[in-house]
Structure formats: C-alpha cells, structure tokens
Amino acid sequence: MAKLKSWISASRLRTLPLSISGTVVGSSYAYFLGYFDTIIFLLIIATTLSFQILSNLANDYGDGIKGTDNHSRLGPKRALQSGAISPRQMRRAIVINTLISGGLALSLIWISLGKNQLLSSLLFIGLGGLSIYAAITYTVGKSAYGYRALGDLMVFLFFGLLSVFGTFYLFSKHIDWRLALPASTIGLLSAAVLNLNNMRDLDSDLRSNKLTLAGLLGISKAKIYHFALILFAITSMVLFQWIMQFSKLVMVSWIAFVPLLFHLKAVYNIKHPKHFDPHLKLVALSTFVMSLLFASALVIEYHFQSI
C-alpha cells in the first residue's frame, strides 16, 4: 500500500486537470461546430493524461538523480528524493509509460485520421514522438531544456498551442486560426503555473545549477512576468469570445478569472518562497474550471441553436 501511494504521489495527480484543459477547450469548440466524436475525445483525454504522467515521472527521475530535489527544496518531497522509489524502478516506469503513451497516441491517430489521411497521420505521429521526447528531456539528460530556461516556452507550445489546435484538428481535420487566442490562454496560464513553481524553487534551483526563466529574471522581474502571463491569458480568452460573438452564456467562464485577479495581489506581496506553493493549485484549478465552464457554455449554446 505504501508503494502504491508513492507511485500515485510520483504521478502528481494535481497536475492532471491542467494538462487536459487545452483538450477540453479544443473539444468543446469542435462540438460547437458539429465535429465532435466521443471515441476520439476519450482517446485524446487518455493520451494527454498519459503524456503528463510520463512527464511527471521523468521530472522526478531527472531532478532526483541530478540532486536538484534535495533537503533545501520547498515543494512536496519527490519519490526519488525520499527514497520511496529507486532510480531503477523509476526508469522502468518511464519505459512502460512511454510504451503506453505511444500506443494510445497511435490508436488515436489511426481512429481519427487513418490511412486515408496519410500525411496528417505521419505529422501527428511525429508530434506524438516529439511530445514523448519533450516529456522526458525536460529534466533528463545533459541537455535537459528545463535546466536552460526553456521550460516556459515548451509548456506554452505543448499545453497551449499543440493541445488546442491538435485536439480540434483530430475532430475537424482542418485548422481554425482563431483558436490561437484560447490556445494562448491555456498556454500562458500553464506557463504561469510553472513560473510559480520556479519562483518557489528559485534559490535551490540556482544552487543545483538549474537555470529556469524565473532564475534568469530574478524574483522581482519574475513577478512582473507572472502578471503579464495572467493578464494576457485573460485578455486572449475574452477577445476570442468577442470575435466569435458567442452568446452571453460563455461569459460564465469569466468566473474562473476572479480568483486569478486576487491571486496576483497575493503574489505581489509574497516575501517567502514557500508561500508560492498554494498558488500553483489555485492557478491550475482556475484554468481547468475556466475550460469546463467555457465548454459547458458552448455545448448548451450548440443545443439551443439546434432547437
């Protein structure tokens, strides 16, 4: 039972809702336009969750063997750091999860695109492979990009742009460039979660030679950067809803932005790094709730139009 709890902890369940926020937004927009398919949706969710768990396990392993996760770290104790899971066990879990992620991705691509859209299938196979590679190399390896202040950019690309655009394409088989706005919202808020994590761990990361964007900027500029991420994210979603001229019902998604505005005031006043930790959950859950409210509004509006 203790080992099971260690694996559940290593999977970092609190990161999973954020990881599917982009797929919820992309799927609901596809539903609104009449492209939705339940099997594809379930496979997208399963694949996304598998990628995220893979990333979490690889992150635990990479930071663990490099010594970045140590006694001075302020966040939750990690599996390798605590000794609950050995490096060999974690490597095996990473390999198994890579196979699961790859299998789910290939199943999704086959069902959605198949041999009739060979070029698109090959493109998504490449993107799936790139997603697995990015999930692992965030902290694993000598060239880990998470140690080179590139984590924020990669989170924006994978959690935001690729998640929303990729999801919509798997349903509709075409690109709608207007989705750049909500995709940016999800990407920016996801980067904000990472930035909070990096501001919390700034001192210990620098001592471990892990260079994050927050470490590169310094705490004061990292807070300014954080404000920009949140405010641009809110603006992008509001602008998208205005351009699309949805019904006023979609404004219910703005409820999720209210905690973020209070969050900014709190972040401004934080003096001790450990006080950043509760805000990771707040921003992640606000993002997920926003995606759910937005999706619910689009589904309801679609059915009202059909009456």
Q: What is the mean pLDDT of the chain?
A: 91
Query: Predicted confidence band at 198 (pLDDT cuts at 50, 70, 90)?
Result: very high
Scored b (16 or more CB within 10 A) or e, 50-75 reads: bbbbbbbbbbbbbbbebebbeeebee
Q: Which of 71-85, 124-138, 202-216 has the lowest mean pLDDT?
A: 71-85
Total number of domains in the chain: 1
Mean per-residue pLDDT for 8-18?
A: 86
Angle between helices 87-112 and 163-172 (to 10 degrees): 40
pLDDT of residue 7: 82
Mean per-residue pLDDT for 9-37?
A: 93
For every residue of 119-134, DSSP letters joined together read: HHHHHHHHHHHHHHHH
Residue pointed to by tokens 């989170």: 155
Q: CATH no. for residue 201?
A: 1.10.600
Mean per-residue pLDDT for 10-25?
A: 91
HEC string of 54-87 equals HHHHHHHHHHHHHCCCCCCCCCCCCHHHHCCCCH
User: Would the pLDDT of 193 be above 80?
Assistant: yes
List the domain range (segments joined by +) for residue 225: 2-306
Mean per-residue pLDDT for 209-213?
A: 90
Q: Which of 57-61, 97-101, 159-163 has the lowest mean pLDDT?
A: 57-61
Q: What percentage of the chain reaches a pLDDT higher than 90?
A: 73
Q: What percentage of the chain reaches a pLDDT higher than 70?
A: 95
DSSP-derived secondary structure letter, 113: T
